[in-house]
Amino acid sequence: MHAQSLDAAVDALSRRRIMLVLFVGVFMAALDTAVVAPAVPALRQAFGVDNSQIGMITIIFSLATLSSTTLMAGLGDRYGRRPVYLFCVTGFALGSLIIAMAPSFAMLLVGRAIQGFASGGVTPTASAMVGDAFPREERGKALGMLGATFGMAFLLGPLVASLILLVLSWQWIFLINLPVAAVVIWLGLRNLPGKQLAANPAPLDWAGVSVVAVMLTSLVLGINRVLDNALGLMLWPALLGLALLCIPLLIMVERRAASPVVPLHLFYSRQLRLTYILCCGAGFGMGSVIYIASVAVAGLGIAAEQAGLLLLPLVIASSAGSVLFGRLLNTLGSRLIMLIGFGTTGLGSALLGLTETAGLWIFLPASMLIGLGVGIIVGGTLRTIVLNEVNLEERGAAQGLVNVGISVGNLLVVATLGVIADAWGGGMAGLAIAYFASAVCMGVMFLLSLGLKSHGEELATALATSEASSGA
């Protein structure tokens, strides 16, 4: 027997306190991904590793994050969001401490894996908690605030890392997470609702968790080709084939599971199927930002060490878009917001290819359009659609799949745009073609967004889901 929804039970003051705890925790995890890049030269020097080895810092983190997302979401649905969220924050702090104290590069990677494993549960659990504690009309604004943390982290991360490296050592980039985590845990114990969702939860679906982990690990290693480079073998076709074979295996396992970690009926809904496809597209658009600094160098002749400054308008536009359109979600509806988001990102991507011809006057507006669009599509809208479609006991699992979709899109864009740019000779000519391809992808996502429910249908579904959760 499931407990009643928390929507009506949490007053406005309590919701503000909950939001503070969630915001700081998500921001801590997001900021860590932004501060690692400036620390790379110091890490290479400290441990005597080359460029290919230092890349393992990102790859290990991504693998661990994807592998833990469905597990943490399932635990949150069974045993409550608060213990899982605080466990993840604690694990993130532990990983940070291990990295800072690491005597070797191998131990640093262990700490990074622990960080990634913990990070996989922070955002989906926080998003599910918003669904538990906030009324429907406030969820878009709250999730928009959480979405804006990524833009803010991208803006502040390099600055924070640079200041720390200037005054202290690289270890403090990670040690700073410890007091932040301690504050989150203290505030979380005082303010986060601690209600357990089920008195007798079914056994965790370890078989499903394992198949998902193998599938996503194979996908990551196949796309990044890290094993191919390390072993000198062509393994990526076999790895991608293994990832595909895991799909029917996962379906078979989840059909037999008493409480599946990936509930298959989530994919029976046309709205949810479209949403998860759009999550991949949103991740693709978000990941495309990685090459914009290269466009500034190749198309404008900006020095590489100064190119990052030209991304500040993009980051500001992204944060503003996430917050603003989160507030407008109730008024405009998810379909219109996703159309605006993908349309804006696609337009910016297409215009970015004209940088070499039109110069800074086209680069800045184009990059700001991309930033605005990414802030809209990766903000709270996709997560709100999912919250409106699923019952209380499945919010964590459904939010975990949003994270997986965005991460897969991120992985695909790095491989796809890089290959396209290189195939067309590299430089600005190749980057222009790559961003045109990105614009085409955003156009496809724009067309798919037309299939989402109308605002009226969406409101009716959200009301029915809320009533079902309250009466469960």
- How do residues 358-377 score in pLDDT, each as one tens digit? 888 889 999 999 989 988 88
Tokens 């724009």 belong to: 446
Do residues 188 and 89 touch, judged by C-beta distance below 8 A? yes
Q: What is the DSSP string of 407-467?
A: HHHHHHHHHHHHHHHHHTTSHHHHHHHHHHHHHHHHHHHHHHHTTSPPHHHHHHHHHHHHH
- 277 C-beta neighbours (distance < 10 Å), count: 17
The Cα 262–Cα 81 span in angstroms is 17
Return the pLDDT at 7.
Answer: 43
Does 268 or 158 have the greater pLDDT score?
268
Q: Which two tokens stand for residue 288?
A: 């495309």
Angstrom CA distances, 323 to 136, 317, 380, 381, stand at 17, 10, 9, 11
Q: In sequence order, what are the residues at sequence separation of 6 or more whose Cβ sits closer than 8 angstroms to the Cβ of residue 402?
A: 124, 127, 275, 276, 279, 382, 383, 386
Please determine, for residue 344, whether its predicted confidence score (pLDDT) is greater than 90. Answer: yes
3-state secondary structure of 166: helix
Determine the average pLDDT of the residues in 383-391. Answer: 79
When pLDDT is averaged across residues 168-193 and rounded to a whole number, the result is: 86
Q: What percent of the chain has pLDDT over 90?
A: 13
Residue range 299-325: mean pLDDT, rounded: 76
- What's at 435, amino acid-wise? Y
The whole-number pLDDT of residue 3 equals 42
3-state secondary structure of 172: helix
Confidence category of residue 161, pLDDT binned at 50, 70, 90: confident
Give the pair of three-digit tokens for residue 73.
């979401």
3-class secondary structure, 4: coil
Nearest to 317 by CA among 296, 292, 297, 353: 292
Q: What's the per-residue H, E or C state across 301-362? A: CCCHHHHHHHHHHHHHHHHHHHHHHHHHHHHHCHHHHHHHHHHHHHHHHHHHCCHHHHCHHH
Q: Please compute the mean of the pLDDT values over residues 335-361 and round it to a whole number.
A: 90
Average pLDDT over residues 373-390: 81
Q: What are phi and psi of 198, to 5 degrees?
A: -135, 135
What is the spatial distance between Cα 99 and Cα 293, in angstroms, rounded to a whole number? 29
- Give mean pLDDT, residues 10-26: 79
Res 345 pLDDT > 90: yes
Name the pLDDT band for 128 (thresholds 50, 70, 90): confident
- pLDDT at residue 119 tops 50: yes
- Report, as an integer, the average pLDDT of 456-470: 66
Give the pLDDT confidence score for residue 154 in this predicted structure. Answer: 65
Distance, CA of 329 to CA of 2 (rounded, Å)? 29
The answer to whether the beta carbons of residues 328 and 381 sit under 8 Å apart is no
**Mean pLDDT confidence for 74-81:** 76
With contact defined as beta carbons under 8 Å apart, do 152 and 27 qualify?
yes
3-state SS assignment for residue 390:
coil
Provide CB contacts within 8 A for 232, sequence distance 6+. none
Judge whether residue 254 has pLDDT over 70: yes
Which range (107-111, 132-136, 198-202, 432-436) has the least confidence? 198-202
Side chain identity at residue 293, one-letter code: A
Query: Measuring CA to CA, which residue among 433, 160, 399, 445 is closest to residue 285?
Result: 445
| Higher per-residue pLDDT: 329 or 153 | 329
pLDDT of 220 higher than 80: no
* pLDDT classification of 74: cutoffs 50, 70, 90: confident
- Spatial CA neighbour of 152 closest among 33, 272, 288: 33
pLDDT at 20: 84
Checking if the pLDDT of 194 tops 80, the result is: no
User: Which of 73-82, 92-101, 102-111, 240-249 shows the lowest mean pLDDT across its residues?
Assistant: 73-82
Residue 197 has what pLDDT?
52
DSSP 202: P
For the ranges 55-64, 120-129, 132-141, 306-315, the maximum mean pLDDT occurs at: 120-129
Average pLDDT over residues 228-249: 82
- 269-272 long-range CB contacts below 8 Å, 24 or more apart? 269/389, 270/451, 271/385, 271/389, 271/452, 271/453, 271/461, 272/385, 272/386, 272/389, 272/390, 272/398
pLDDT of residue 5: 45
CB atoms within 10 A of CB 75: 23
Q: Is the dihedral of CA 98, 102, 104, 105 positive or negative?
A: positive
Per-chain mean pLDDT for the chain: 79
Indicate the Cα dihedral angle 135, 137, 138, 142, nearest 10°: 110
Task: Work out the average pLDDT over 221-247.
Answer: 79
Average of per-residue pLDDT across 202-220:
79
Average pLDDT over residues 314-341: 84
Query: Is 320's pLDDT higher than 70?
Result: yes
pLDDT of the residue at 391: 73
pLDDT band at residue 8 using 50, 70 and 90 as cut-offs: very low
The half-sphere exposure of 183 on its side-chain side, counting CA atoms within 13 A, is: 14
pLDDT value of residue 173: 84
Tell me the pLDDT band of 329, cut-offs 50, 70 and 90. confident
Contact 18, 191 (CB under 8 A): yes
From the list 281, 218, 257, the residue with the least C-alpha distance to 265 is 257
